[in-house]
Amino acid sequence: MDLDRSAPVATTLNTEAAARFLNCSTRTVKERARLLQIPHRKLATSRAMLFYEAELQAWLDGAELEAQCQGEDRIVRPITKDGKRIELSRDPPAPAPLDSPERLATRALQEEVKYLKRQVNELDKALTGREAIFNRIIEAAQIEVPKLHLKIPAKRLKKLPVRSAVLPIFDIQYGQLVQPQDTPLGLGEYSTTIFEERLSRWYEAVTESLRDYAASHSITELVIALGGDLVEGADIFAGQAWQLEIDPAKQSVELSVHLANALGDLITFAKQEVGVRKVMLCAVPGNHGKVGGKKSGATPATMSWDWLCIEFLKLRLANHPIDVFANESGGALLFESMGHTFLHIHGQEIRGWGGIPFYGFTRFDGRAIRMSGQIYDYCLSGHIHQPAIIPNGSGGEYIISGDWVGGNNLSGQIVAVSRPQQRLLFISEKWGLSENVPIYFAEATRPKPHIYSTAAA
């Protein structure tokens, strides 16, 4: 095989150098050579290949290729249009005619400027072209995002997360009689009979939720927080008497019977069906049950129908397994659940402005912390009949309970007709208040107000 060794040889390149010259990979060079698609020389006896720079350049410039093979030996080279082989010469290129170095430098710089301008234009086009943007978006979308490796436990967790159930009961106002004709648009109605219906609905909802929740949690504690205005009283505001169904003494006795029945059953249920280990009952009086009302001035705090009602309740629940029973006549108490401290008040000391109690809570907060010397996590209150959970700015919350009454003759003044409701809270050591289950006494669909019309007349 004639490898043309006698021919005058210009710059020779090995595979790596050829790849560099062509700006491609050595793999591509080797593959193209195997397919006789690139000018080169190869002997059967060697894996190495030889390339001529001049031939590669001629091929790049569009010259046809001519291949000669004999067994594994091969020569592939470019030929000119008229079938001639490329002249490979050792001779240095003829020197360029002399020119002034200054002019040459200027021309070189002009060439460079022209080249750079062209580059800038092309890059501009590439960057601003709509297609280019789409392409970049598509490219970005194709970037592989590493998959999250989620641990899937082979078996279900045997150890269930531990929770405490806190059950606030606020603003029953037992004994209040609300008649539709006294409420705006006839939207409110309340009586001892309606309370009894709501209490059985409440019991059903609470036990159902406790049972559901116990399927995935270990509920170890039940805290019943009685928050005042449980009885309506008689003389907290002028003319209160006309909207009473029964007098405050009867209110206290009757309500203690209803609550003892419901809470007694609930404690039994919590112990037997849910597996609750500890039970605590905390109570503070409200403002409605104050004997003699505001005008009576300074009277002992125990001069309260609320306080008396809870004392009756305590006697009636005496045979139930209640670990802690607190009836704080002073109107505020602190309790702890799952390591979190709760301030438990009725809420009449918190003022709202235009129905918004945020500022009132903040002001109250400072005073309460100073008074108790205790930074509590949660403040449990009621009184305003508008349920809310408001962050207190340091991880805890003001938890404002709803009421049992709904719209009454005062609803015209406070604008909102509350949808009566209570709640069931679940407390976790790690998360604090982790679940809030609302217990509604009225359906989600709003009651239709009465609309006068001549159409049917």
Q: What b/e readout covers 227-263, taking b as 16+ CB neighbours within 10 angstroms? A: bbbbbbbbbbeeeeeebbbbebeebbebbbebbbebb
Binding segment toward Mn ion, per CB under 5 A, in 39-47, 77-85, 208-216, 381-389: 381-389
Cα 447–Cα 449–Cα 453 angle in degrees, nearest 5: 140
Q: How many residues bind Mn ion (CB under 5 A)?
A: 4
Among 285, 286, 402, 406, binds Mn ion (CB under 5 A): 286
Residue, CB closest to Mn ion:
383
11: burial class by Cβ within 10 Å (0-12, 13-18, 19+)? middle
Query: What sign results for the dihedral spanned by CA atoms 80, 84, 85, 87?
Result: negative
Cβ closer to Mn ion: 116 or 356?
356
Binding segment toward Mn ion, per CB under 5 A, in 45-53, 253-261, 324-332, 375-383: 375-383
CB of 327 to Mn ion, least distance (A): 17
Binding segment toward Mn ion, per CB under 5 A, in 194-202, 278-286, 309-317, 326-334: 278-286
> Does residue 383 belong to the site contacting Mn ion (CB under 5 A)?
yes
Q: Rounded distance, CA 274 to CA 268, Å?
A: 9
CB 418 within 8 A of CB 429: no
Among 173, 287, 337, 418, binds Mn ion (CB under 5 A): 287
Cβ closer to Mn ion: 252 or 287?
287
> Does residue 331 belong to the site contacting Mn ion (CB under 5 A)?
no
290: burial class by Cβ within 10 Å (0-12, 13-18, 19+)? buried
Among 55, 182, 189, 229, binds Mn ion (CB under 5 A): 229
> Does residue 164 belong to the site contacting Mn ion (CB under 5 A)?
no
CB of 161 to Mn ion, least distance (A): 35
CB 456 within 8 A of CB 195: no
Cβ closer to Mn ion: 229 or 254?
229
Q: Which structure tokens are listed for 182?
A: 């006294």
CB of 251 to Mn ion, least distance (A): 15
Binding segment toward Mn ion, per CB under 5 A, in 208-216, 223-231, 305-313, 329-337: 223-231
Binding segment toward Mn ion, per CB under 5 A, in 126-134, 318-326, 383-391, 436-444: 383-391
Q: How do strand 162-169 and strand 218-226 relate by DSSP bridges?
A: parallel
Q: What b/e readout covers 38-71, taking b as 16+ CB neighbours within 10 angstroms? A: bbbbbeeeeeebbbbebbbbbbeeebebeeeeee
CB of 384 to Mn ion, least distance (A): 8
Residues lying near Mn ion in the complex (CB under 5 A) are found at: 229, 286-287, 383
